[in-house]
Structure 1
């Protein structure tokens, strides 16, 4: 037996700069604030890069559910938007929120709910009966859930004759799918509830509430008319969402001040291409990494112009039509810093990663 290797073996067991498996940091469902049941998921542990604040998934309402990475750099704007939603809903510190679908917490970021001072809980099972039981037992100030599910559950309560025992004046924050308009009358009848229509995505967070934007970097750009009505693509921080909405001066059904009719969403066609024309970065190489990162963790295609201006005073993005589809739309130019906030946060995330690389010594790459 080689005594030197034996000594190394003991030292590796007792000491070391790299962690053993039981010494690795862990981020659980509870840490993320989404420790509730769903019938659509399996709980799986993954190795999550230290440069990501957390992982989540798209809801799959229009396509296959895809993984989403959320960076630390984008959290402040996401949390600010979440605070705007909670304040507009009239919620205050200490209020209880009942969440019917746990992944919706990821759109806020659980940190936003903690910082705001809310208490939130989940159903025992993902079913309408479990929802009614929780509503009765917990008496929440607000409910966060999908509108068709809430409508069906409240109709059940009415048909079973238990509506009178449910809490009154609850705020219903509906999200995940376009607002089911039939929820409004049954919610008013059974709960005397205020209904709010949230539009957002796992990739970026909340974007609009009752037809009113909740971020400063939102633009509406005209798209092709549908059925004789003008629709507008919603663009966040320079990135098109692929969703278009009509706008109306008569207002959103939940708030006449809201002009974006988010419950009449249509997928945008043709989709815009995003071209970076100018960047505050000194290197086009770093900008290319940003573009690839956005594709990988946000599912948005961003291209870098061959003659991109570096060291510019602000980011400049150009949205243009897809020449491959043979359809052209007038280009739209978006200039930062306010209107490119989300894109710029991804730039900052890339810089943070390059300056504070979290590497594992057993994974060595040679250039």
Structure 2
């Protein structure tokens, strides 16, 4: 018996159905396209589930930073939206892009940058002087970064008398926080730059550029009376963002054809609840798993109607006010397939996950 176990001990070191630690696939920061410095993070290795394309984090602008899971099923629409942004900005394959804050690449996804054919680099340090040095040395066609940081850096360049040494005619894709309107004149003066305002988030990717949606499954839902200012909740694929904006016919400051004034964002309070009224799924058990998965990886609460219709031709979701605004506003029905794309992509991700057995045989779980 001892001889058999000794042989097994020798065999499992050389081969087996499960990988050793050294054989496990790795997704490094470089693989994700975000291998750059930040002053706000540490670098930690984690075991990432095989059903997720990658992990990222919320910005923490409205609450504690939380983990966000990006599924493979949602990547095509996310990449398509990113292509729309890059095309509207006039970028082309081979262009050099300077990214001031590496996690912003996760909103595009590194895959989008790779497929589009961009070359992108990061700052040596996450500081304004490092940004000016990178502009001078790297000579990018475009910059992706937070608008106030870029504005303050360009003011530094003026004060130091080095503005003339910086590249001209570049594209600024500002993101991460509401657009700092004071950036516009100094960007024109120092860089002769074209400024664009991107709105999106780690959970959903890019949603609007200069007030114009970049996805086909975006709805604007008018909120109840807001002190005389009409505000509209932005809903993506049936899931509310929790952000509201004015909509103006006079247009966005960066594009008069853009009607969503994304730099005047307000947090929606109270937030809508999402109720699934009909689903293409035939099992309410699977639908329940979808709802829990959305809560866990996207932080959005989805509930299932007691009389939900299964096996429907398309998804039907209802957005209803919570108890605080009950009676002030009617529910809003959103019907698929076009307008529930994001929700349906997450349904597909759940189905893909269920069709694959857990790859680690040491993990045993009773149903």
Report 1:1-367 matches (<5 A): 2-323=2-323, 328-367=328-367
How far did residue 326 of structure 1 move?
5.2
State whether residues 270 and 327 of structure 1, in contact with CA within 8 Å, keep that contact through their aligned partners in structure 2.
no
State whether residues 224 and 328 of structure 2, in contact with CA within 8 Å, keep that contact through their aligned partners in structure 1.
no
How far did residue 359 of structure 1 move?
3.0
Cα RMSD after superposing both structures: 1.0
Q: What's the CA shift string for 1:41-90, capped at 9, x where partnerless?
A: 00000000011000000011111100000000000000000000000000
After superposition, the Cα gap between the structure-2 partners of 1:133 and 1:327, relative to the gap in structure 1 and judged at 3 Å, is farther
* Other structure's SS at 2:224 match: coil
* Other structure's SS at 1:306 match: strand
- Alignment: residue pair count: 367
Rounded to whole Å, the distance in 1 between the matches of 2:23 and 2:359 is 17
Rounded to whole Å, the distance in 2 between the matches of 1:16 and 1:325 is 58
Q: What's the CA shift string for 1:192-229, capped at 9, x where partnerless?
A: 00000000010010000000000000000001333411
Rounded to whole Å, the distance in 2 between the matches of 1:102 and 1:357 is 34
State whether residues 271 and 321 of structure 1, in contact with CA within 8 Å, keep that contact through their aligned partners in structure 2.
yes
After TM superposition, the score normalised by the length of structure 1 is 0.98
Rounded to whole Å, the distance in 2 between the matches of 1:30 and 1:9 is 36
State whether residues 275 and 302 of structure 1, in contact with CA within 8 Å, keep that contact through their aligned partners in structure 2.
yes
After superposition, the Cα gap between the structure-2 partners of 1:327 and 1:266, relative to the gap in structure 1 and judged at 3 Å, is farther
State whether residues 170 and 193 of structure 1, in contact with CA within 8 Å, keep that contact through their aligned partners in structure 2.
yes
After TM superposition, the score normalised by the length of structure 2 is 0.98
How far did residue 5 of structure 1 move?
1.0
How far did residue 324 of structure 1 move?
5.6
* Other structure's SS at 2:144 match: strand
How far did residue 14 of structure 1 move?
1.2
Structure 2: gaps spanning 5 or more residues? none
After superposition, the Cα gap between the structure-2 partners of 1:16 and 1:221, relative to the gap in structure 1 and judged at 3 Å, is same
Rounded to whole Å, the distance in 2 between the matches of 1:225 and 1:91 is 41
Shifted more, 225-234 versus 68-77: the winner is 225-234
Structure 1: gaps spanning 5 or more residues? none
Rounded to whole Å, the distance in 1 between the matches of 2:99 and 2:128 is 13
State whether residues 270 and 324 of structure 2, in contact with CA within 8 Å, keep that contact through their aligned partners in structure 1.
no
Q: What's the CA shift string for 1:321-363, capped at 9, x where partnerless?
A: 1026656421100000000000000000000001123331001
Q: What's the CA shift string for 1:268-324, capped at 9, x where partnerless?
A: 112111000000001111000000000000000000001100000100000001026
